[in-house]
């Protein structure tokens, strides 16, 4: 089994090394990750400048681009054969509910899924990688399960792992994305030249986090696995919009 590993925290992040190590027990691993922390990069591709590919001493390949750049270049120019699976992470912090839209971790996996490769994004709930070993064990268990019982069609899974020792994790369950409150206000500061500068505020608290959601599962001590799709069409709203477009003032 050929496994491509990437992330959005950059090629030096402890979560990437932990995930790559966990995957080595299961197949032939290639790591292609961003040079810099690209959290929040979403699905952006770098189109305004060329990209450089470098080798780290530990064998990881890093690119001065986004997570999507890394997987895109790996699939279209670096790898001799398409991987059987793409895994991304383990992210330094959760990617649940509306975070999923902004996440570079999810985007790296999604880039693979767009090329028809099954892909899994892994995130550890709290920042700081306290229980990254347990999270890596969960990642290995999930991929092992996939190898033993493959899902027939390509899939994109968003996995969020509580920051707990392995023994305290209660299980692994399927969830839907919850929703968040709007993010906290922007932080305004003054730079040394007296100009105003702004920091994007923190993500909002969970707004829809009831049973069945990723928020609820992880708060209850379970690993949350949400299958994602890319089609953004709001099929339920299509008839109303079509009707609105067809209507003429009389």
Binding site for Mn ion (CB under 5 A): 8-9, 39, 91
Cα dihedral angle (232, 178, 22, 104), rounded to 10 degrees?
A: 50
DSSP 8-state code for residue 213: B
The string of DSSP codes covering 140-176 is HHHHHHHHHS--SS--EEEEEE-SS-GGG--EEEE-B
- Pairing label, strands 61-63, 28-34: parallel
Nearer to Mn ion, 38 or 61 (CB): 38
Nearer to Mn ion, 91 or 226 (CB): 91
Q: How far is the CB of 242 from Mn ion (least distance, A)?
A: 39
Nearer to Mn ion, 9 or 178 (CB): 9
Nearer to Mn ion, 146 or 203 (CB): 203
Q: How far is the CB of 105 from Mn ion (least distance, A)?
A: 6
Q: How far is the CB of 225 from Mn ion (least distance, A)?
A: 19
Q: How far is the CB of 141 from Mn ion (least distance, A)?
A: 22
Minimal CB distance residue for Mn ion: 39
Instruction: Count CB neighbours of 56 within 10 A.
Output: 13
């Amino acid at each position: 089994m050929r496994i491509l590993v990437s992330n959005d925290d950059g090629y030096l992040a402890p979560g990437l090394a932990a995930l790559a190590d966990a995957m080595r027990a299961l197949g032939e691993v290639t790591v292609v990750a961003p040079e810099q922390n690209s959290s929040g990069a979403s699905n952006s591709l770098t189109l305004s400048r060329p990209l450089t590919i470098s080798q780290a001493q530990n064998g990881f390949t890093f690119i001065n681009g986004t997570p999507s750049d890394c997987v895109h270049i790996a699939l279209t120019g670096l790898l001799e054969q398409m991987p059987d699976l793409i895994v991304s992470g383990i992210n330094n912090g959760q990617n649940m509910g509306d975070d999923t839209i902004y996440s570079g971790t999810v985007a790296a996996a999604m880039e693979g899924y767009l090329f028809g490769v099954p892909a899994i994004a892994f995130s550890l709930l709290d920042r700081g990688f306290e229980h990254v070993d347990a999270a890596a064990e969960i990642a290995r268990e999930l991929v092992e399960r996939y190898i033993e019982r493959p899902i027939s069609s390509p899939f994109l899974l968003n996995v969020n792992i509580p920051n707990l020792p392995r023994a305290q994790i209660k299980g692994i369950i399927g969830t839907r994305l919850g929703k968040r409150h709007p993010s906290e206000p922007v932080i305004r500061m003054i730079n040394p030249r007296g100009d105003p500068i702004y920091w994007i505020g923190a993500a909002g608290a969970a707004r829809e986090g009831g049973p069945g959601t990723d928020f609820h599962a992880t708060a209850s001590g379970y690993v949350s696995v949400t299958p994602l799709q890319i089609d953004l069409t709001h099929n339920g709203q299509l008839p109303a919009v079509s009707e609105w477009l067809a209507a003429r003032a009389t």
